[in-house]
Amino acid sequence: MKKKFSIRTWFVWIGLPLIFIVPTCITYGEVFVLVSFFDDTDEAVTQLNKQMEADQTWINQNILNQPMKWSDPSWQKTVTSKLEQMKVQIRLLDPKGQLVFANRHHNEQQKVQTNLFEEYPVYQDQQWRGTAYISYQLRARTNNDQRTSATQEILLSFAKFSPVISWLVTFIIMLLTCLWFINQSILKPLASLGKAARMVSRNNLQFHLPGTHIKEVAQVLEAFTAMKKALHASIERQAIIEQERKMFIASMIHDLRTPLFSIRGYLEGIQTGIASTPEKVKHYVQVCQEKANTLDQLVNDLFTYSKLEHLEQSPELQTTDLVDLIRTALEGFDPLARKKNISVSFRHVVDHCMIPGDSHLLARAINNLLDNALRFTSSHIEVGCHYKDENSVQMIISDNGPGFTSQDLPYLFSPLYRAESSRNRNTGGAGLGLAIAKRIVEAHQGKIDAFNRQPGGACFVIELPAERQNEK
């Protein structure tokens, strides 16, 4: 994961040091090196001059002031050894120009280079005793001195402008580095962001945004990526809703058409005289009445579902006793349960389970769940209510019917979905009861779940927030 800093942090702690401090430090370092070089060079020249002065003093004392010893073999041996140590070449000539002594012998090519020797006439007792030619190895030393002098002159010329040049060059390099960083971390991501925005305007969400080390830019990119994910999820949800809408309309057409066809058929039978006896007419009218009641129930369910789906009816929360709501609902279903020989048991650990809720909507949800249980149970229904913990209340409705198939479980709370494939109203309703119950529970910040219990039967578990002031 890339570490991110704000633009101010990058500018203060990285941009300014790169652009100004680094060039300044390099310039100071270069000045220090040049100063050290010139100091070392001056010291070396000083040492060389001192050595040459010492050599000159010794030569004056032991050679130029003692011309009488020039031809002495022992003197020549001693002087030759000393001259070799000093790396000095000497040629001593008598007044006639004859060579008396030379510490080194030279070939003809070297003899031509007389400019390497310095000529010293030697006098003693006001008489000319000869001539001394001395070379401090000027050929090597002069070349070295010339090279040293030339190098010093070049460095001195360069040193006059070197700090400014070095600072400018380093400044330009650092500035280009910062510009490259700005391009990679700010301009390039923003360009990608603009391109992505244009793609979104064309309903194209297939884009990728680059990363960046700039905190503010990264936040914008992350927000845009989150928007992309939300739009993608919204499009997928819209496609699912559109599919459900088509299924909803198709199912409604089927559920409305079936009773209408029945009513029309029976009315045509009365009109054409098929119902020829008063008993048949009465039966036909009774069937039409039942179908009309079915249509009325279907319309009521659709109206309730539509209000809950579009949040036109929000819960009017009041302190409500869930135990009392369940007991009232069971009393309303007791005649139908007795008629079907179905036993109903209600277990509650406490006498009251207080919740914040809309009693009318919650009663509708409980009635829908009990109606579903009565339709599919074989002989028994169990209802329970208790505090799950200090913050929630749990209600359980179970039966000993056939339960749910694995194919039905994911769609139980979908609108107009009925588990039985025949869509026979004798066993299944309009397919909105469980969907309405789910919307009501969720409107109360609760949750509902369904599963098969052992050894058999269906079980619905509803969890609702408990009334805080009545926590126990």
Please state which of the ranges 7-11, 77-81, 317-321, 348-352 shows the lowest mean pLDDT.
Answer: 7-11
Q: What is the pLDDT of residue 141?
A: 47
For the chain, which domains are there?
A: 1-213 (no CATH), 315-470 (3.30.565.10)
pLDDT of residue 139: 39
* Three-class HEC string of the chain: CCCCECHHHHHHHHHHHHHHHHHHHHHHHHHHHHHHHHHHHHHHHHHHHHHHHHHHHHHHHHHHCCHHHCCCHHHHHHHHHHHHHHCCEEEEECCCCCEEEECCCCCHHHHHCHHHCEEEEEEECCEEEEEEEEECCHHHHHHHHHHHHHHHHHHHHHHHHHHHHHHHHHHHHHHHHHHHHHHHHHHHHHHHHHHHHHHHHCCCCCCCCCCCCEHHHHHHHHHHHHHHHHHHHHHHHHHHHHHHHHHHHHHHHHHHHHHHHHHHHHHHHHHHCCCCCHHHHHHHHHHHHHHHHHHHHHHHHHHHHHHHHCCCCCCCCEEEEHHHHHHHHHHHHHHHHHHCCCEEEEEECCCCCEEEECHHHHHHHHHHHHHHHHHHCCCEEEEEEEEEECCEEEEEEEECCCCCCCCCHHHCCCCCCCCCCCCCCCCCCCCCHHHHHHHHHHHCCCEEEEEECCCCCEEEEEEEECCHHHCC
Task: Of 139-143, 224-228, 406-410, 459-463, give the lowest mean pLDDT range.
Answer: 139-143
Quickly state the pLDDT bin for 461 (edges 50, 70, 90): very high
- pTM, full prediction: 0.46
pLDDT confidence bin for 447, thresholds 50/70/90: very high
